[in-house]
Amino acid sequence: MKKIVSCILAAVLTVGTVCCPAKAVFASEINAEKTKSEGCTDVVPYGQYLQLGKSDITKLGTGKIYAKGRTIAHTTVSRISVGVRVERLMGNAWVQQDYFSASKTNIDMVAASKTLTVPIGYFYRVKSIHGANTDSSSSWTDGLYI
């Protein structure tokens, strides 16, 4: 009986492998069509100044990306800021590729953006740190294959 079950199982596996061969799927194939990613801050329940923070990354073409971070306050604040990190996936870790920031006083919104030329064949994301007076939070995008 064991031999019959083993023979049947072997036949099923052989037919399944021949009829439905496995296809290797690469990350570049999965995200090749994706050209933009956006991330937002979570609600800051204890914050009284920070309303929203956003991070954006857009693929502009071969080896070119547009990165942006923006911070919005509930009302005019004495100081508002955004720090924007562009990160590249190296192995299993996100490594900083570039950093830029902006801050303003006596206003309710600030943004910082930059167009970058980057090495192709990697995933990139934008991670931003948002501040409005004493409130702070962060946001980040999904990885985008360039």
**Which of these, 8, 6, 80, 10, lies nearest to 47 by C-alpha position?**
80
Tell me what percent of the residues of the chain surpass a pLDDT of 90.
62
How far is it, in rounded angstroms, from Cα 31 to Cα 132? Answer: 34
Structure confidence at residue 44 (pLDDT): 58
Tell me what percent of the residues of the chain surpass a pLDDT of 70.
74
Structure confidence at residue 48 (pLDDT): 87
pLDDT confidence band for 12 (50 / 70 / 90): very low
Give yes or no for residue 33 having a pLDDT over 70: no
Structure confidence at residue 35 (pLDDT): 83
How far is it, in rounded angstroms, from Cα 72 to Cα 45? Answer: 15
